[in-house]
Amino acid sequence: MNIVPFSPGVGAVVNDLQLATMTESELTELRAAFTEYGLLFFRDQDLPPEEHLRFANRFGSIVVNKFFKTTQESPQIAEVRKEKTQQTNIGGGWHTDHSYDDIPALGSILVARTLPETGGDTQFANLAAAYDALPDNLKKKLEGLRAVHSNTHLYGENGLYRLTDLNDQLGGMDRVGDATHPVVIRHPESDRKVLYVNPGHTIQFEGWDFTESRTLLDELYAHVMQPQFTCSFNWLPGSVTFWDNRCTWHQANNDYQGQARLMHRITIAGSPLAAA
């Protein structure tokens, strides 16, 4: 196995490894790379749904998304689908999967199934590097803060997604809910401090009013979105990505109108998040 950084400071490409036939010692090496980079890219994989599931199960236990449709092959594989005729895509804004859960997901494994001829990249951000680079006065301000994460504004009645042509693909309107988490977490494996707020799901700081929260959240988001903390991955047939939801954000570019895109996603269960 050969692991090379993808872009300065964000992600790594894992070469010379087939996920479907990985040995136990390769899995151990892969776990270490996942902890170090928090975002791994793989090319030329032969990973049909049953192997996608097997890889996920070797890494941890699977948690099923409350809102997405699942595949014919398995109720544990979520479909991230955009039809030719659809305008809105799933995950088109920066977010972290499942941060609205009390115990957010560890990570997600996304496999390309149908790709547009052009466009449809996924962008990623490194929230450990972004935290490290915050000015000391801002780090001090964030100490001890907690934030509310929600999905109601997206998936609830009249939520943003419900008002789009994505609505037919979504279920679970009654499963909406909130959770609170520390704003700076200690990553359970890498031990790094990580900024744990995201534009998709973080509503406000606990005990702060909405406007006051918005000002600081927008400042933090502008910081994370700088080029040195972000990268863009172009999908090819056989591409797979595996990201750590505790220390990354992602968003799917919606720049391929008139073309279809289908990805299969499996999400791995995490553990409660602790303040740094």
11 binds ligand SIN, rule: CB under 6 A? no
Q: Which two tokens stand for residue 195?
A: 């900024």
Q: 3-class SS at 243? A: strand
65 binds ligand SIN, rule: CB under 6 A? no
Nearer to ligand SIN, 122 or 198 (CB): 122
90 binds ligand SIN, rule: CB under 6 A? yes
Distance from C-alpha of 175 to C-alpha of 68, rounded to nearest angstrom? 12
Strand extents, DSSP E, the chain: 2-7, 10-15, 39-42, 62-63, 78-82, 107-114, 122-126, 146-150, 178-182, 184-186, 193-195, 202-205, 230-233, 240-244, 248-252, 261-268
Nearer to ligand SIN, 128 or 266 (CB): 266
CB atoms closer than 10 angstroms to residue 41: 23
Nearer to ligand SIN, 252 or 276 (CB): 252
Q: Which two tokens stand for residue 213?
A: 């929260």
Choose one: 44-52, 90-98, 182-190, 218-226; the region binding ligand SIN (CB under 6 A).
90-98
Smallest gap from Cβ 21 to ligand SIN, in A, equals 25
Smallest gap from Cβ 135 to ligand SIN, in A, equals 30
Q: Are 49 and 74 in contact (CB under 8 A)?
A: yes
Smallest gap from Cβ 199 to ligand SIN, in A, equals 13
Compute the chain's Rg from CA coordinates.
18
Per CB under 6 A, which of residues 106..145 are in contact with ligand SIN?
108, 110, 122
Smallest gap from Cβ 142 to ligand SIN, in A, equals 25
Q: Which residues bind ligand SIN (CB under 6 A)?
A: 80, 90-91, 97, 108, 110, 122, 250, 252, 263, 265
